């Protein structure tokens, strides 16, 4: 057998952390990982955040992000150990033999330079191609990646193309120097689901046609199953399982892999709507001040007590604006809101205290929704004081009750948000909303920033709390798997309008309108060949990809 | 129309408006000063009649608003009035002095701006290592010493002890450029030391801020060298804040040189202003004040326009 392109042996990666108020100490992020990658093959690295995927990916460029250090082991590329290389040699390797595609192309392109200059820079500075050759290559790659107007798109600035297009440009940037290996670090995670599918196809085609090897890093097993030959599952800096795509998704051996494969399989039976709706949204049209564009156009929806209405759509469809209108943050230009039989005033400032109390909100970024200098007890205690005037022992007791409800138990009252994990933070935000004893909670993408397994836990918690507290959810999300798991009724939004609305069983049953079909079919499925099948059979193409 | 043209036109209009506001403030401020100009000119022994005559002649009996527009009308036509103390045309006396101040400021800028940028880049390249710390320590020390003190120290060493440069900076038209530069060498060094720290620290901070960006990591992963990354990827994105601080310091070089000019007996605007403030020569103070305001507003306008033009989102809209 010939020597593999990339051979990693016992790779250890560490970092120095500086906890506030304590002495700095060294921690190990990756604890000895081994793998091989043959030329022209694709290896998927999968795991939750903190599993060390990106760190391992960057090690293939002999690079440690931030204060990260490659502390031990060997990384052999093209027959030499690049961890022991000298700086000049590392530089000729980066951008020459190995290139990198990051998650956010928008941040990774220099805003002050034209796309072409950035795409060809590495190829030219490593002397692989002349400027003219590199530009010809770039145009060829733009074409292969399905970018519009490949001859001229390079003369644009990054802000002049869409997010999906820029992500393809980043792929062109990585392929332009004709590398042996490309590290793709969550290249489609930041994109809308309907855009992701096209970019994924473009990347897959480009990998196949150029014969380059790739490390494909993602947290989404369904995505990695479409592009990889082999998959390595990582957890907390160690390998859990390694195998072919077929083996990993159809016959996972390890318990952790099995959990990843079966994630998003919550069964939720849809409830019958009651007599009168809890929330009635009628003819709402809204725009932001200073603009002449309606973000919401004539929206009608209803939500019944103790049930969940999922509002689903892509970024820019107006779903978060709907939440702002309902909470009174953005008074609508037309339409009325009826809540529990009474009319809600359009502006938050004029609403009575009880209206404010009964309508709570949970946000996507639990991090920024909490004051980092307040303890969990203070954060949850605030609505108890504000709405119910609770003090002292009584308040303490209620806080502990709420903490028990969100399955956090004792000892969490005195912790600060920084001492909690992402899932725990979101649980505290849920407890804060529940503390007001609301009838309706608006959940704005509450699981989007969480790892799949953690998100599953949050969804299960929300469903259980709905039974106990009889609270209704208006659940805003772009993720259809979440919708299937939690909704009783669904409203599909597209460009400020509701294109499909009704009970879950109806909305998710054919015949579909073109947009709903596109949205539903774009959700990656965990089987080989899904990507090609879907591209071939869908009715409508995504706009602005 | 291209949005940049609109933005720049807005800035220009705002600058002119500001200049008018400044002229109102200058006029109101000097008018409110206690004391009577006529009394000042004629002295304590003047008769009431001669005082009244002079007041009428100077237009001091007119309402302040009328006097303001009278003054402004003159200024717009290039007539800054006549000095009370010597009866000479102010515009004429200022002309030569403004040229001298600009000459000094120009050479101080020619030395200090590139030096500050270079030291800033160097500090970024060797961040937290000894060159960075040395540069910061030295520039912060020089900015902390009062400028007259710096002036006298340098005068003692460079002029008195080493005899490299003259201790007073006197210019005349018969001097060649080299002789002039020799004459202003010490004031230029003093001014450079005074403005260097601010510009260098801002350059360092602006570039370090940009160096945190993801696109810098992209450049590193392209295998580019550190200096090339700083020069071609970081610097273009740090231009706006750097130009801002450079312009503020340039304005300081023109407006704030009063002390340095006095120390070196340099025939510039600062010297002129100080002389006439002590003599309560209001028209001269007004004229100089207006010129200083115009310089400040003009240079800051340049900074604003540069930051608009260097923003690719504004330059190349979607």
DSSP string, B247-291: HHHHHHHHHTTHHHHHHTT--SHHHHHHHHHHTT-HHHHHHHHHH
Give the pLDDT confidence score for residue A15 in this predicted structure. 84
Quick check: helix, strand or coil at residue A236? coil
| Between residues B54 and B8, the one the model is more confident about | B8
User: What CATH code is assigned to A279-373+432-508?
Assistant: 3.40.50.300
Using the Cβ of B219 and the Cβ atoms of chain A, whether some distance falls under 8 Å is answered with yes
ipTM greater than 0.85: no
Decide if B233 and A107 are in contact by the 8 Å CB cutoff: no
Decide if A122 and B214 are in contact by the 8 Å CB cutoff: no
- The encoded tokens of residue A33 equal 């990982």
Rounded to 10°, the helix A422-435/A392-405 angle is 130
Q: Render B164-183 in DSSP notation, one character per residue.
A: -S-SS----TTS-HHHHHHH
> Looking at beta carbons, which residues of chain A come within 8 Å of B221?
61, 63, 94-95, 99-100
> Each residue of A436-477: pLDDT tens digit?
999 999 999 898 878 888 888 899 999 999 998 899 999 998
Using the Cβ of B212 and the Cβ atoms of chain A, whether some distance falls under 8 Å is answered with no
User: What CATH code is assigned to B102-278?
Assistant: 1.10.3720.10
Using the Cβ of A68 and the Cβ atoms of chain B, whether some distance falls under 8 Å is answered with no
Question: Which residue in A299, A335, A336 sits closest to A491, CA to CA?
Answer: A299
Tell me A94's DSSP state.
B
Q: Which CATH architecture has domain A6-261?
A: 3-Layer(aba) Sandwich (3.40)
Give the C-alpha separation, B167 to B186, whole Å.
8
| pLDDT tier, A265 (very low <50, low <70, confident <90, very high otherwise) | low
Using the Cβ of A61 and the Cβ atoms of chain B, whether some distance falls under 8 Å is answered with yes
> Looking at beta carbons, which residues of chain A come within 8 Å of B233?
110, 113
Using the Cβ of B141 and the Cβ atoms of chain A, whether some distance falls under 8 Å is answered with no
Mean pLDDT of the region B120-129: 88
- Please name the residues in contact with A145: beta carbons below 8 A apart, sequence gap of 6 or more: A168, A169, A171, A172, A202, A203, A205, A206
Give the C-alpha separation, A252 to A376, whole Å.
39
Chain B nearest C-alpha distance from A58 (Å): 9
The mean-pLDDT minimum among A4-13, A32-41, B179-188 falls in B179-188
Using the Cβ of A9 and the Cβ atoms of chain B, whether some distance falls under 8 Å is answered with no
Contact A181, A94 (CB under 8 A): no
> Each residue of A346-398: pLDDT tens digit?
998 899 999 999 999 999 888 889 998 999 999 999 999 999 998 889 999 99
Mean pLDDT of the region A491-503: 92
Q: Where are the alpha helices (DSSP H) in A65-130?
A: 87-93, 105-108, 115-125
Give the C-alpha separation, B26 to B75, whole Å.
13
The mean-pLDDT minimum among A39-43, A493-497, B54-58 falls in B54-58
Mean pLDDT of the region B258-272: 84
Give the pLDDT confidence score for residue A539 in this predicted structure. 67
Residue-averaged pLDDT of chain A: 88
Q: Where in chain A is the domain with CATH 3.40.50.300?
A: 6-261, 279-373+432-508
Whole-structure pTM value: 0.79
Residue-averaged pLDDT of chain B: 86
Contact B143, B197 (CB under 8 A): yes
Please check the confidence at residue A288 and state whether its pLDDT lies above 70.
yes
Q: Where are the alpha helices (DSSP H) in A234-275?
A: 245-250, 255-261
- Please name the residues in contact with A271: beta carbons below 8 A apart, sequence gap of 6 or more: A304, A306, A307, A488
Give the pLDDT confidence score for residue A493 in this predicted structure. 92
Mean pLDDT of the region B23-42: 79
Please check the confidence at residue A543 and state whether its pLDDT lies above 60.
no
């Amino acid at each position: 057998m010939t020597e593999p392109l990339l051979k990693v042996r016992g790779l250890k990666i560490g970092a120095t952390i500086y906890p506030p108020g304590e002495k700095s100490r060294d921690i190990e992020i990756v604890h000895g990982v081994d793998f091989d990658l043959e030329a022209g093959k694709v290896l998927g690295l999968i795991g939750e955040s903190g599993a060390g995927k990106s760190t391992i990916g960057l090690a293939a460029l002999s690079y440690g992000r931030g204060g990260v250090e490659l502390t031990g082991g060997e990384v052999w590329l093209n027959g030499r150990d690049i961890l022991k290389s000298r700086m000049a040699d590392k530089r000729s390797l980066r951008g020459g033999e190995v290139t990198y595609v990051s998650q956010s192309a928008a941040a990774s392109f220099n805003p002050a330079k034209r796309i072409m200059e950035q795409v060809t820079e590495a190829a030219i500075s490593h002397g692989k191609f002349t400027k003219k050759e590199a530009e010809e290559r770039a145009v060829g790659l733009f074409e292969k990646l399905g970018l519009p107007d490949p001859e001229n798109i390079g003369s644009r600035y990054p802000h002049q193309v869409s997010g999906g297009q820029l992500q393809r440009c980043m792929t062109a940037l990585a392929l332009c120097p004709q590398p042996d290996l490309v590290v793709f670090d969550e290249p489609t995670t930041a994109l809308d689901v309907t855009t992701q599918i096209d970019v994924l196809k473009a990347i897959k085609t480009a990998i196949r046609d150029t014969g380059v090897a790739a490390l494909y890093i993602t947290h989404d097993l369904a995505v990695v199953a479409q592009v990889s030959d082999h998959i390595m599952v990582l957890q907390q800096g160690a390998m859990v399982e390694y195998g072919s795509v077929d083996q990993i998704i159809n016959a996972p051996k390890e318990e952790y892999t099995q959990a990843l494969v079966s994630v998003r399989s919550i069964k939720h039976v849809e409830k019958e709507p009651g007599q009168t709706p809890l929330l009635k949204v009628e003819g709402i049209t809204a725009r932001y001040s200073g603009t002449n564009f309606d973000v919401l156009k004539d929206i009608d929806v209803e939500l019944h007590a103790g049930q969940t209405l999922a509002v689903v759509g892509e970024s820019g469809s107006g779903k978060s604006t709907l939440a702002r209108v309902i909470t009174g943050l953005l008074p609508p230009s037309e339409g009325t809101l009826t809540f529990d039989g009474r009319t809600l005033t359009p502006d938050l400032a004029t609403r009575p205290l009880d209206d404010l109390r009964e309508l709570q909100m949970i946000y996507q970024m639990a991090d920024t929704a909490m004051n980092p200098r307040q303890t969990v007890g203070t954060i949850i205690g605030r609505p108890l004081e504000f709405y119910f005037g609770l003090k002292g022992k009584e308040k303490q007791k209620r806080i502990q009750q709420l903490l028990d409800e969100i399955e956090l138990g004792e000892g969490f009252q005195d912790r600060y948000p920084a001492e909690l994990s992402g899932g725990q933070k979101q649980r505290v935000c849920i407890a804060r909303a529940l503390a007001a004893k609301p009838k309706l909670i608006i959940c704005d993408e509450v699981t989007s920033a969480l790892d799949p397994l953690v998100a599953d836990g949050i969804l299960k918690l929300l469903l259980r709390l709905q039974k106990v507290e009889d609270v209704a959810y208006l659940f805003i999300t772009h993720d259809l798997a979440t919708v299937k798991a939690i909704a009783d009724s669904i409203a599909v939004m597209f460009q400020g309008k509701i294109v499909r609305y009704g009970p879950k069983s109806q909305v998710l049953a054919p015949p579909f309108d073109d947009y709903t079909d596109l949205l539903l079919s774009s959700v990656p499925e965990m089987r080989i060949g899904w990507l090609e099948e879907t591209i071939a059979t869908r009715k409508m193409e995504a706009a602005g990809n | 129309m291209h949005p940049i043209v609109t933005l720049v036109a807005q800035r220009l209009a705002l600058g002119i408006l500001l200049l008018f506001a400044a002229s109102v403030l200058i006029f109101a401020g000097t008018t409110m000063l206690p004391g009577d100009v006529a009394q000042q000119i004629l002295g304590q022994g003047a008769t009431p009649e001669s005082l009244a005559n002079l007041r009428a002649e100077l237009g001091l009996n007119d309402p302040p608003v009328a006097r303001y527009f009278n003054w402004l009308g003159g200024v717009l036509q290039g007539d800054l009035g006549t000095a009370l103390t010597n009866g000479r045309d102010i515009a004429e006396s200022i002309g030569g002095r403004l040229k001298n101040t600009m000459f000094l400021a120009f050479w101080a800028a020619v030395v200090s701006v590139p030096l500050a940028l270079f030291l800033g880049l160097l500090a970024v390249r060797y961040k937290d290592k000894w060159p960075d710390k040395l540069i910061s320590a030295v520039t912060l020390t020089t900015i902390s010493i009062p400028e007259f003190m710096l002036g006298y120290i340098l005068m003692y060493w460079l002029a008195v002890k080493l005899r490299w440069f003259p201790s007073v900076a006197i210019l005349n038209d018969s001097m060649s450029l080299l002789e002039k530069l020799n004459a202003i060498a010490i004031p230029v060094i003093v001014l450079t030391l005074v403005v260097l720290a601010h510009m260098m620290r801002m350059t360092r901070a602006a570039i370090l801020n940009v160096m945190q960006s993801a696109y810098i990591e992209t450049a590193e992963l392209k295998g580019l060298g550190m200096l090339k990354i700083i020069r071609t990827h970081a610097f273009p994105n740090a231009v706006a804040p750097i130009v801002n601080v450079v312009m503020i310091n340039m304005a300081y070089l023109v407006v704030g040189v009063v002390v340095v000019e006095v120390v070196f007996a340099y025939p510039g605007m600062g010297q002129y202003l100080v002389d006439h403030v002590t003599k309560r020569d209001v028209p001269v103070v007004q004229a100089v004040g207006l010129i200083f305001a115009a310089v400040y507003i003009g240079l800051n306008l340049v900074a604003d326009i540069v930051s608009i033009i260097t923003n690719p989102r504004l330059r190349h809209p979607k």
